A and B are shown apart, each in its own frame.
Chain A
Amino acid sequence: MESKPRLLTIIDAVSVTLLVVATGMVFFYAPMEAVMGQVQRVFYFHVAAGWVGMLGFLVAAVAGIVYLRTGRRNWDTIGLSAVEIGMVFAFINIVTGSIWARPIWNTWWTWDPRLTTATIMELIYAAYLMLRQGLEDPDRRARFGAVYAIVGFISVPLTFFSARLFRTIHPVVIGSNQPGAEGAFDMTPKMLQTFLFSLLTFSFIFVSLLWHRVRLGRLAEKVEQIKLKVAA
């Protein structure tokens, strides 16, 4: 078995350090938002988790395209790993959003376009995992997974636009707000720094997790091959 690469160890250490610093920044460096109070602090990790979720699904779609073109199994492992990580972070995004929405919107859940899209996205990738589970032939599993990752990812923006044609109340912190958005605020420089730092932190965490998961996937493949050899 290949030993753990030096670079991965460094990325692990950097991720943990960044996470500690980012948590500190969220609670002690960033000023308290005047209207919403403490609960606004969930925003930094909320958006960062959403960003990693989207990044995971994007990586899965790209890995799908590359797999279909090259047929190299490695890309299939990357695609599956990215989907799994993306699902976890998209879920964190939804949960933290609910925590924020309870006091601000006075409800845990509302059928806002972003919330709707996030839910449907989770369902798409749950279907992706179920599709893979129903297939034994690893080659076919990889091909079908790649196709569905591409089709699913393309449908996400369309879902968002179709849901957006219904009016939205979700605030747009970056860029212009639609009239009627509730819970909007402008970021002070310190807030912006904390926000960008959280994004950086979560990106590092994503890279570290993805790498670990791909290594695990390769090991699982090896075990499968050895099992076949023993059985034969």
Chain B
Amino acid sequence: MTQDLSIPETTTVRGESALGAFLRAMWAVVWKDLAAEMRSRELLSAMLVFALLVILIFNFALELDAKTRSTVTSGVLWVTFTFAGTLGLNRSMAIEKDRGCLDGLLLAPVDRAAIYFGKVLGNLIFMLVVEMIVLPVYSLLYNTNLFHPGLLLVILLGSVGYVVVGTLLASMAVQTRTRDVLLPILLFPVVIPLVIAAVKGSAGFLQALEIPEIMPWLNLLIVYDVIFTAVAFMVFDYVVEE
């Protein structure tokens, strides 16, 4: 892993473009997270089991019979993703903090934004993996077909926005005294527009509404993603600065 982290330095020596160095540093962080996860599998398994438990609870809480299902499926899915996502985000940043890994990353002579986007991409991959497992399980358990390309698009856009804000706020939350409880409190009020848009967008595709009716929600998701990616890019330096 140390080998990977040193790559950006050598590339600048070779005179590669700044963008190339940035992408390499970012990829190094992603690769580190994936490698660590491949060995321990603690993050994915926790998120996955948690997500399935949430769905199980919803089954009893809402009596998910065929009639209810058609209207609440998108809501159930997004609550599941949101909760499982918080679990993953918290864990992913706590690992960095506890084992002093974050300090190591910050010492690396790379752009801090590269570290941030590396973490975002890593978290996004974990979240998408969980979602791609939850979807077929939900389809199987409740006998509904969820494989609609439009729904997958909404899930992708929603997850990007969620992880972009979540990674930023998680890196703040882990540095506080009340770290484990703080992330959802910080994150949920800020991601509400995203969740509303994602739920309505998903429901639109699941109920086979006309595209013009779904478009406003897709636009909102895209706007949210763009705005918060830009904001997080600008302020991340101040969050990790010592």
Contact = CB atoms under 8 A, between A and B. Distances in A.
A48 to B, nearest CB: 25
Interface string A150-189: 1110110011011101000000000000000000000000
Interface in B196-220: 196-197, 200, 216-217, 220
Q: How large is the interface on A (under 10, 10 to 19, 20 to 34, 35 or more residues)?
A: 20 to 34
Contacts of A154: 227-228, 231
A81 to B, nearest CB: 20
**A interface majority secondary structure:** helix
Contact of A163 (B189, B196, B224, B227): B196
B241 interface: yes
Nearest to B182: A134
B168 A151 contact: yes
B189 A127 contact: yes
A134 B176 contact: yes
Contacts of A127: 185-186, 189
A39 interface: no
A216 interface: no
B193 A155 contact: yes
Interface stretch (A22-30, A102-110, A140-148): A140-148
Contact of A162 (B185, B192, B227, B235): B192
Interface string B121-150: 000000000000000000000000000000
B185 A130 contact: yes
B34 interface: no
A158 B238 contact: no
Contacts of B176: 131, 134-135, 144
Contacts, number: 89
Nearest to A136: B177
Contacts of A134: 176-179, 182
Contacts of B177: 134-136
A158 B178 CA distance: 28
Contacts of A151: 165, 168-169, 190, 228, 231-232, 235
Nearest to A64: B235
B239 A162 contact: no
A120 interface: yes
B72 to A, nearest CB: 16
A42 interface: no
11 contacts: A127-B186, A134-B177, A135-B176, A143-B238, A151-B231, A155-B192, A155-B193, A158-B223, A159-B196, A162-B193, A165-B216
Interface of A: 68, 120, 123-124, 127, 130-131, 133-136, 140, 143-144, 146-148, 150-152, 154-155, 158-159, 161-163, 165
Given A131-B182, A158-B227, 20 more contacts: A123-B188, A123-B189, A131-B172, A131-B176, A143-B238, A144-B175, A144-B176, A147-B235, A151-B190, A151-B231, A151-B232, A154-B228, A155-B189, A155-B191, A155-B192, A158-B223, A162-B193, A162-B196, A162-B220, A165-B220
